[in-house]
Structure 1
Amino acid sequence: MEKSLSCKEGRISETDNKELVKEENEQGKEKTKQKHQALISSLPKRERGDMMQLALLQYQGFWLGSEPALKGILFMQDHFKARPTDIVLASLPKCGTTWLKALIFTIINRADYDFPTHPLLTANPHDLVTFLEGYLAKHESISGLGALPSPRLLATHCPYTLLPNSMINNSGCRFVYVCRDPKDVVISTWHFVNKLLTKPRPLEDAFEQFCEGVSPFGPFWDHVIGYWRASLELPEKMLFLKYEDLKRDPFVHVKRLAEFLGQPFTQDEENDGMVQEIIKLCSFENLSNLEINKSSSTATRSRFKNSDFFRKGEAGDWEKYLTTEMAAALDHKIKEKLHDSGLTFTMPL
């Protein structure tokens, strides 16, 4: 016999009630989409080349990477609920995100896989650690994220001030933030975006916009300073790393990363060479030469091939591209913007 529920008009079946709830949810979802679209349509835009879908959108002081990225962040602000066990990798684009995804995934799951059959050998790091805004923009649902086992490994390019309250207030979730010499960020971003353009963008244009603060999820200095200050205030919640430090001494910083993630290496693991094995597995040289990372692409990143995420992996590559005057101008800008923060960049290696 079908169950029934009370309502003002009388009695309705449980099946009918579920349909009503579903319809209300769909209506609410549609209203949210319309609200977000109206907001997005009103925002200032800056093109990055000859493709409008690459336009940057300015929202609350930041130039977000694209319309889908902003949709994902807005959905994240409205619906995402952090777990105390969540581990979130935060970064600006082209700051070592791929490398850190590989390291974090391998450290956390080191007891579950043997190196000869490790998932990194057959999957790109971006397929193993989910980008929050990308996932939410595509699915417009958090149900898939809710199904992930703890600890969830997530990533975001979202500025700290735009993160949902559940991630920064009264939450035990931990952040790893990685930043990089801004001169290398300019060059790496320029190469990366040009892969999408029918006509390559002049470096001078990309450099000028970066110095104006117009870059994906930038200004660079505002993005970095938000996470830097959070790391000073809540060091148990936020680990702040520099790409150049990781390159200079990966053994020290991989151990530091494992300790922060709550899974420090045991003495036996160190004696058995576990740290070195993880460094080797996740190295640019190893990952870039794997068949999966040479050409394959996925539906979630159809614009790019996996090989696009592995260009050089060097520190100081900017010297091949920027003039002495350009480098000095950007160094001066960064020093000016970060002068009272205690944060500096030492480069190159």
Structure 2
Amino acid sequence: MYEDLKEDIIFQMKRLAEFMSVPFSLEEESEGVIEEISRLCNFNNMRELEVNKTGKSIRHFENKTFFRRGEVGDWINHFTPEMVERLNKVIEEKLGGSGLSKPLSRSRILNLWITYHSNTPSPPSMENTRGRESNPIIRDKEEEEDGHDNPLALLPKEKGWTGLDLYLYQGFWCPSMEIQRVMSFQQHFKAQDTDLILATMPKSGTTWLKALTFAIANRHRYTNTLSQHPLLTSNPHDLIPFHEINLSANKDGHQDSHILNLSNFQSSIFSTHMPYHSLPDSIKTSNCRVVYLCRNPYDAFVSAWHFLSKPRPESLEPLSCIDAFDMYCRGVIGFGPFWDNVLGYWKESLKRPQKVLFLMYEDLKEDIIFQMKRLAEFTSVPFSSDEESKGVIEKISRLCNFNNMRELEVNKTGKSIRHFENKTFFRRGEVGDWINHFTPEMVERLNKVIEEKLGGSGLAFKTSL
């Protein structure tokens, strides 16, 4: 079975060799011959070979058309419930009793459709969901007995940088610990016109953007009492919550309630790493505003590698820079591919500049005062001439300065987001640190990815200042 090959390629290769009367010897196994062949024949490796990018091997079919995705579960992005039901009937009629397959039940079809295709599904009737009103996953007894009660099993997945799984959900790689919260956010969040959403790829200046935005929005309360400013005693992530992280969960990591308790937060500023296309419809259709901060992919990669490799379990081998880079260039990183995440907000900012403000991390580093004025103007709290003359912008800039925040005791100890220590949010914050990590080959490969995925978009990255 194709899916068995994807799940355990080594075991299946040994089966194949045995059947063909050319079994692998113990010496070959110990020397890693099977793994070498597996890597040679890896789908992504073959797709990148020049011979498979050009020419034709079978009549009018171009070689590159044989290498599209090669994933298990991509059908969920194309099938309607009616298509699933019809194909189920065909399979049952033609293959029923053969032992080959068991069609999906009607409730599982509904479950999959609600979970993966609808941002605002209609909730199940209360009479049929007593005790599970907030659970977006609908199960039936037959499925639970058969062990088919987990629709995530149908999604393509890869081992993430931290060692936990990443699921390919709605076109982006969603961390396993966040996926239920992401679904809940999509289904339950109703944006208000006064809300402000801060969006970023991980490790692209999120902490800095939160600090600046909070300080600008609340400056009239603390300008004259900076010694009592919340940023001196609270990590920025505690002041501006993540939609997909700050949802209630019990000690086992499962949601007691899927609805974000907004009463816990006095601010109407929230943040997310989710791509634009997967945001709840209410964010897109309301008059709330979105600020996106983009960082050049070279520095963003280095920062992500240092950050995400820290909580990796000791039972797993350390994630090398080369292995992480390969995943990054394939788009496999939480809330990636990075090019899709960036491009979605970039295009929307061009289409609706009054809705989405697109900022560049490097521009903030180069001229923080000008960018702060842009941010304040966009969020409808522009700095007055009096404030400018009194140096209010400069005071906020110094308060939110990377080195200043890094030296605060609150950012040296404790944790704001699960197993990530606060101090890990403040490593270097420089533009150009990538030069200390990249080889010429890495530069060339990432250049190709950027040109292929973002070429013609008008986006340009500053890799040094």
Same fold at TM > 0.5: yes
> Are the structure 2 counterparts of residues 143 and 192 from structure 1 closer, same or farther at C-alpha, using a change threshold of 3 Å?
closer
Pick one of 141, 147, 153 that aligns with 2:269: 153
Q: Which amino acid aligns with 2:392?
A: M
1:183-204 Cα distance to aligned partner (Å, 9 max, x none): 1111111111111122421100
Counterpart in 1 of 2:81?
Answer: none
Counterpart in 1 of 2:24?
Answer: none
Deviation of 1:332 (Å): 2.3
> Are the structure 2 counterparts of residues 173 and 33 from structure 1 closer, same or farther at C-alpha, using a change threshold of 3 Å?
farther
Matched, 1:42 2:154: yes
State, as a whole percentage, how many aligned pairs show the same letter: 45
Deviation of 1:31 (Å): 5.5
Aligned equivalents of 1:50 and 1:343: distance in 2?
30
Residue 329 of structure 2 aligns to a residue whose secondary structure is helix
**Structure with larger Rg:** 2
Structure 1 runs, 4 residues or longer, greater than 6 Å off? none
> Are the structure 2 counterparts of residues 304 and 148 from structure 1 closer, same or farther at C-alpha, using a change threshold of 3 Å?
closer
The one of the two structures with greater contact order (alpha-carbon pairs below 8 A, sep at least 6) is 1
Q: Which amino acid aligns with 1:175?
A: V
Aligned equivalents of 2:364 and 2:386: distance in 1?
23
Q: Which amino acid aligns with 2:458?
A: G
Work out the number of aligned pairs and report it.
322
Pick one of 413, 417, 421 that aligns with 1:305: 421
TM-score (norm 2): 0.66
Counterpart in 1 of 2:85?
Answer: none
Partners of 1:131 and 1:155 within 8 A in 2:
yes
Aligned equivalents of 2:219 and 2:173: distance in 1?
37
Partners of 2:247 and 2:260 within 8 A in 1:
no
Deviation of 1:333 (Å): 1.3
Matched, 1:239 2:357: yes
Counterpart in 2 of 1:326?
Answer: 442
Aligned counterparts, 1:199-214, within 5 A: 199-214=317-332
Partners of 2:134 and 2:258 within 8 A in 1:
no
Deviates most, 135-144 or 285-294: 135-144
Q: Which amino acid aligns with 1:180?
A: R
Partners of 1:91 and 1:97 within 8 A in 2:
yes
Deviation of 1:23 (Å): 9.8
1:308-331 Cα distance to aligned partner (Å, 9 max, x none): 111101111000001122112202
Aligned equivalents of 1:158 and 1:192: distance in 2?
19
Partners of 2:248 and 2:260 within 8 A in 1:
no
Structure 2 unaligned blocks of 5 or more: 1-125, 141-148, 250-254
Pick one of 185, 190, 214 that aligns with 1:81: 190
Residue 231 of structure 1 aligns to a residue whose secondary structure is helix
Aligned equivalents of 2:219 and 2:139: distance in 1?
44
Counterpart in 2 of 1:194?
Answer: 309
Deviation of 1:29 (Å): 2.3
Counterpart in 2 of 1:56?
Answer: 166
> Are the structure 2 counterparts of residues 258 and 50 from structure 1 closer, same or farther at C-alpha, using a change threshold of 3 Å?
closer
Partners of 1:178 and 1:241 within 8 A in 2:
yes
Pick one of 104, 111, 124 that aligns with 2:235: 124
Residue 239 of structure 1 aligns to a residue whose secondary structure is strand
> Are the structure 2 counterparts of residues 49 and 225 from structure 1 closer, same or farther at C-alpha, using a change threshold of 3 Å?
closer
Deviation of 1:212 (Å): 1.0
Residue 184 of structure 2 aligns to a residue whose secondary structure is helix
Q: Which amino acid aligns with 1:164?
A: P
Structure 1 unaligned blocks of 5 or more: 1-20
Aligned equivalents of 1:137 and 1:345: distance in 2?
37
> Are the structure 2 counterparts of residues 263 and 213 from structure 1 closer, same or farther at C-alpha, using a change threshold of 3 Å?
same
> Are the structure 2 counterparts of residues 48 and 32 from structure 1 closer, same or farther at C-alpha, using a change threshold of 3 Å?
closer
RMSD: 2.1
Aligned equivalents of 1:293 and 1:49: distance in 2?
24
TM-score (norm 1): 0.87
Matched, 1:175 2:175: no
Residue 130 of structure 1 aligns to a residue whose secondary structure is coil
